[in-house]
C-alpha cells in the first residue's frame, strides 16, 4: 500500500502527516504557522517537519509516493499558489519549492477541497463517491467531491459555494458583493443575527449568558438560550436553520451530491441542529418528491480531514 | 467516422437527426409531438422517424452506433424517464422501448444538457472543453459540460441552475419555493417586471408598442422601448441585466466553467444585451481580479443543438 505526505497549512498550525492509500493516518506532527513570516521560512518548516514525520513513522523518503499540500487559497493545476490572503502569498511556486527540497512530486489543493476529500476517503462520506462538504466558520468554506475526486471547476481554482447570491442586494459580504449565502449562514452571520435580536429584546436570556457583554456573543449562545426556551433565541435559531437549509438546497439543486458533510463549531449542536436542518433541506430541494435528497451529516475527522485529503491529492489527480 | 441518431423531444416537435462523430448533422426530420398522446404513440413516431431519417441520409441501421434521446425532464443513468411533466410521463422505460424496436443501444439525457453538449461539440462552445449553458425561456434551463461530457450531478438527474435561492423570501417560483433565480431572470420574469413597470408609468413608450394591451407584452418590448430612450424601459432592462449577471456570476463561482453559452429569445438582443451582461458578470464574479472570468456568448445552433447533443450522448458516456 502506498504512503503519502499530507500537509495542511492552517491559520494556526502547519500539520504534516503520513497518510496511507486507504486514508489511514500513520503519524502527524505540527509546527506553528506564524502567519506573516517569509515564504522561505514557512517552506523550510514544511520540509523539516515532513522529514521528521516520515522518520517518526519508521519510514524513509523513498517510501513516500508524493506530497500533497492543502492551501488556504486558490491554487493552479501546475503547482502555483495564486493567492492565499492570510499567508500574504501571491503567485508562489509552492510545488516547485517543496518538490525540489524533498525530491518528490507535489500536488496542491485548496484546504477546503482537501478536507472534503479526506472525509470521503476516511470520514463521514466514506460510503459515498460524491459529496458536498460545507464548513460554517468566519466565512463558508466548501469542497465538492465527484466520483471520488475533487471537483475544482474548469479552471482548477476551486468552487466557492458560499458566494452565490442568496439575498439580492442584501448584507454586505467579505467578497465585495452583497447578499452572498456566506453573509447569512456563516458563524459570523449567526453571531450578527444573534446580536441584532438581542438589541431588540433586552429581556432575552441571551444577555445573561454573555454577562451582558455583547462582545462575548458566539455561535453557541443562541442555541444555549433556545434550549432554555428563550423565545428570541428560538426565533434566531429557526431563522438561521432556514437560511442554512435553503442555501444547502440551492447548492444541492445544481450539484446533486450523494451526501452533504457539515463542518464548523455550529455542528457541535448535534441533532438539535441536524434534524430540523435535514427537514429544511428536503422541504426546499427541487422535486424532492421525485429525486433523491441527500442527507446532511456531521464531519467526523476534525482537523485530520485536511491532512488526509492533502495526502490523497495524488490519488484524486490519478482518477481524473 | 461513427454515426448516431439524435432525438430531441420538444414541446411542439420531435426532431430526429443523423449526427456524425464530429458533431455535424447529416439529415433531420421532425414530427409533431402532440403532447398528451399515449406513450406508445409517441414512441412509435420516434421509431418510424428514426428509420426514415436514416434512409434519407443514405444509410442503414447497421451504420448507426446508438440512439440518444433528449428528454424534457429527469432521466436515470439506466434509461428510465423519471418524470417529464409536459409529456405526462412518470417512470417510463424509454431506453428499453426504443432500443428493442431499433435494436440499438439507447442513451437518455436531459434536453437542456443535450443542448449544452451540442453547443460544445459543434457550436459556440467548440473551443472549450467546459461550459455552462443557460437558456432563459418560460423558466431557466441549464446544462453543464465538464471535460467534454455532461455533468449530471451525482444522481444523474441533471443540474437545475435556475433553482438556487437568489432572493430569500422573494417572488414565488414554479418549483414551489420563493425567490429562485428563475423567478428573476427567465423570460417570464422579465415580462412580469416589464408589466409592473408599465403599471407604474402610464406614459411609458412601452404602452404604445403593445397597442395599450398588456397581454401583448413580451421580452422584446422593454428592449425596443429602451433603445428609443424610454426611461422606464431603460430601468427595466438595466435591472434585468443586473439580476441575470449576478445570477450567472453565482453559478460561475461554484462551477467555474470556461465559457457561458446563452440561449433563449432574449439573446436576439445581441450586443445590446451581451456587452453590459459580460461587464456585470465580471463585476460580481468572486476574485475576478485574480481568477479567470468566463465570457458569456450566444448559442449558435438554435434547435439543432438539442439533436446534435442527443446524438453525442454515447460519446459523452464513453469519456466518463
pLDDT in tens, A29-74: 999 998 778 999 999 999 999 999 999 999 999 999 999 999 988 8
pLDDT at A156: 65
Q: Is the model more confident about B41 or about B76? A: B41
How far off is chain A from B157, nearest CA to CA, in Å? 7
Residue A299: pLDDT over 90: yes
pTM, two decimals, is: 0.91
Residue B247: pLDDT over 70: yes
**CA B280 to the chain's CA centroid:** 22
Residue B88: pLDDT over 90: no
**Cα–Cα distance list, A187 to A263, A276, B132, B307 (Å):** 11, 18, 31, 47
* Structure-block grid coordinates of residue A194: 444573534
Domains A3-123+303-318 and A131-298 share a fold: yes
Residue A234: pLDDT over 80: yes
Domain at A3-123+303-318: CATH architecture: 2-Layer Sandwich (3.30)
B residues 215..254 contacting A (CB < 8 A): 243, 246-247, 249-251, 253-254
User: Which residue has 432500443 as its cell numbers?
Assistant: B99
DSSP state of B294: P
Q: Which residues pair with B296 in a beta bridge?
A: B260
The mean per-residue pLDDT over the stretch A299-314 comes to 96
* Structure-block grid coordinates of residue B79: 434509461
pLDDT at B152: 83
Closest residue in A to B82 (Cα–Cα): A290
Contacts of residue B46, defined as CB under 8 A and 6 or more positions apart, other chains included, come to B7, B9, B14, B16, B69, B98
CA distance A134 to A248: 9
Are the beta carbons of A254 and B254 separated by less than 8 Å?
A: yes
Task: Please report, to the nearest 10 degrees, the dihedral formed by the alpha carbons of residues B52, B55, B60, B61 taken in order.
Answer: -10
pLDDT at A186: 96
Sort out which chain B residues have CB atoms less than 8 A from A238's CB and list them. Answer: none
The mean per-residue pLDDT over the stretch A281-303 comes to 92
Residue B155: pLDDT over 80: no
Residue B320: pLDDT over 60: no
Q: Are strands A131-136 and A81-84 parallel, antiparallel or unpaired?
A: unpaired
Residue B262: pLDDT over 90: yes
Q: Which residues pair with A110 in a beta bridge?
A: A71
Lowest-pLDDT range of A8-17, B13-22, B73-82, B90-99 = B73-82
Residue A125: pLDDT over 80: yes
Cβ atoms < 10 Å from Cβ of B11: 11
Sort out which chain B residues have CB atoms less than 8 A from A80's CB and list them. Answer: none
Residue A279: pLDDT over 60: yes
Q: Is B160 on the interface with A (CB under 8 A)?
A: yes
Sorting pLDDT into bands at 50, 70 and 90, what band is B287?
confident
Residue B119 and residue B261 in contact, taking contact as beta carbons nearer than 8 Å:
yes
- For residue A305, give the H/E element and its range: helix A304-311
Residue closest to B309 by CA, chosen among B84, B141, B185: B141
* Structure-block grid coordinates of residue B261: 453559452
Fold of B131-298: Nucleotidyltransferase; domain 5 (3.30.420)
Which pLDDT tens digit goes with each residue over B183-193?
Answer: 999 999 999 99
The mean per-residue pLDDT over the stretch B105-124 comes to 96
DSSP state of B5: E
**Cα–Cα distance list, B90 to B51, B153, B163, B177 (Å):** 26, 20, 21, 22
pLDDT at B42: 95
**Complex prediction ipTM:** 0.90
Sorting pLDDT into bands at 50, 70 and 90, what band is B156?
low
Residue A157: pLDDT over 80: no
DSSP state of B155: T
Residue A3 and residue A27 in contact, taking contact as beta carbons nearer than 8 Å:
no
DSSP state of B77: T
pLDDT at A104: 98
How far off is chain B from A49, nearest CA to CA, in Å? 31
The domains of chain B are located at 3-122+303-318, 131-298
**CA A289 to the chain's CA centroid:** 30
CA distance B38 to B36: 7
Supply the mean pLDDT for chain B: 94
Residue B66 and residue B314 in contact, taking contact as beta carbons nearer than 8 Å:
yes
Q: Is A255 on the interface with B (CB under 8 A)?
A: yes
Sorting pLDDT into bands at 50, 70 and 90, what band is B105?
very high
- For residue A251, give the H/E element and its range: helix A231-255
Residue A155: pLDDT over 80: no
pLDDT at B53: 98
The mean per-residue pLDDT over the stretch A313-320 comes to 84
* Structure-block grid coordinates of residue A143: 469542497
CA distance B279 to A2: 48
Sort out which chain A residues have CB atoms less than 8 A from B286's CB and list them. Answer: 160, 163, 175
How far off is chain B from A302, nearest CA to CA, in Å? 24
pLDDT at A133: 96
User: Which residue has 436576439 as its cell numbers?
Assistant: B268
Q: Name which of B155, B163, B286 is nearest A160 (Cβ-Cβ).
A: B286
Q: Which residues pair with A13 in a beta bridge?
A: A32
Are the beta carbons of B255 and A159 separated by less than 8 Å?
A: yes
The mean per-residue pLDDT over the stretch B289-293 comes to 84
Sorting pLDDT into bands at 50, 70 and 90, what band is A216?
very high
Lowest-pLDDT range of A47-56, A87-96, B203-212 = A87-96
Residue B305 and residue B119 in contact, taking contact as beta carbons nearer than 8 Å:
yes
**CA B125 to the chain's CA centroid:** 14
Which pLDDT tens digit goes with each residue over A92-117?
Answer: 999 999 999 999 999 999 999 999 99
How far off is chain A from B131, nearest CA to CA, in Å? 8
Say which CATH class B3-122+303-318 falls into: alpha beta
Amino acid at each position: 500500500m502506498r504512503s503519502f505526505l499530507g500537509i495542511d497549512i492552517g491559520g494556526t498550525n502547519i500539520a504534516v502527516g503520513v497518510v496511507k492509500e486507504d486514508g489511514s493516518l500513520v503519524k502527524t506532527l505540527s509546527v506553528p504557522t506564524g502567519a506573516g513570516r517569509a515564504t522561505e521560512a514557512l517552506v523550510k518548516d514544511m520540509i523539516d517537519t515532513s522529514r521528521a514525520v516520515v522518520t517518526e513513522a519508521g519510514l524513509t523518503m523513498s517510501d513516500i509516493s508524493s506530497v500533497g499540500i492543502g492551501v488556504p487559497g486558490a491554487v493552479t493545476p501546475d503547482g502555483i499558489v495564486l493567492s492565499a490572503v492570510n499567508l500574504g502569498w501571491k503567485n508562489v511556486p509552492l510545488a516547485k519549492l517543496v518538490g525540489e527540497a524533498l525530491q518528490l512530486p507535489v500536488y496542491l489543493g485548496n484546504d477546503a477541497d482537501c478536507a472534503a476529500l479526506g472525509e470521503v476517503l476516511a470520514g463521514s462520506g466514506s460510503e459515498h463517491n460524491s459529496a458536498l462538504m460545507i464548513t460554517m466558520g468566519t466565512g463558508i468554506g466548501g469542497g465538492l467531491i465527484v466520483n471520488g475526486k475533487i471537483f475544482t471547476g474548469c479552471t482548477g481554482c476551486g468552487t466557492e459555494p458560499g458566494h452565490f447570491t442568496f439575498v439580492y442586494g442584501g448584507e454586505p459580504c467579505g467578497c465585495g458583493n452583497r447578499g452572498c449565502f456566506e453573509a447569512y449562514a456563516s458563524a459570523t452571520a449567526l453571531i450578527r443575527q444573534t446580536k441584532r435580536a438581542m438589541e431588540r429584546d433586552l429581556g432575552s436570556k441571551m444577555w445573561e449568558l454573555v454577562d451582558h457583554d455583547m462582545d462575548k456573543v458566539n455561535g453557541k449562545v443562541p442555541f444555549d438560550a433556545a434550549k432554555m426556551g428563550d423565545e428570541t433565541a428560538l426565533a434566531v435559531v429557526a431563522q438561521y436553520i432556514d437560511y442554512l437549509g435553503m442555501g444547502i438546497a440551492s447548492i444541492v439543486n445544481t450539484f446533486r451530491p450523494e451526501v452533504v458533510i457539515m463542518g464548523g463549531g455550529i455542528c457541535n449542536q448535534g441533532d438539535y441542529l441536524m434534524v430540523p436542518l435535514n427537514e429544511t433541506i428536503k422541504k426546499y430541494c427541487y422535486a424532492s418528491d421525485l429525486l433523491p435528497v441527500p442527507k446532511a451529516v456531521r464531519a467526523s475527522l476534525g482537523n485530520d480531514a485536511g491532512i488526509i485529503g492533502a495526502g490523497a491529492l495524488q490519488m484524486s489527480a490519478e482518477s481524473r
